[in-house]
Amino acid sequence: MPLGLTPTREVLAAVSNIFVVAVRVDGDHLRRRIYLSLSAAQRAAERAEARGKTADIILCKVTPVVTR
């Protein structure tokens, strides 16, 4: 889809139920990463905790933003 065009209803419907998993790691600075699978997010959180950091796993829903 060329930049600047309004997406069709079909496109909006196709992306309306997409979820991602965010991992937030507190340490020297705040780090946020997005993962497409829960297992990958869990491994990232476990690695952070093994380094002595605090990690949170957050389920996020993707919401399309229409600019026009």
Residues near 51 by Cβ (< 8 Å), separated by ≥ 6?
27
Residue 68 belongs to some domain of the structure: no
67 band by pLDDT with thresholds 50, 70 and 90: low
Q: Which domain holds residue 32?
A: 15-61
Q: What is the pLDDT of residue 5?
A: 62
Tens digits of residue pLDDT in 27-64: 667 788 999 999 999 999 999 999 999 999 999 988 87
**Distance, CA of 44 to CA of 9 (rounded, Å):** 35
Check if the beta carbon of residue 57 is closer than 8 Å to that of residue 21. yes
**Total count of domains within the chain:** 1
Q: What is the pTM of this model?
A: 0.69
Query: Which among 62, 67, 68, 53 has a CA at the least distance from the CA of 14?
Result: 62
- Indicate the residue type of 14: A
Q: Going by C-beta distance under 8 Å and a sequence separation of 6 or more, which residues neighbour residue 14?
A: none
Asked if residue 8 is part of any domain, the answer here is no
pLDDT at residue 1, as a whole number: 47
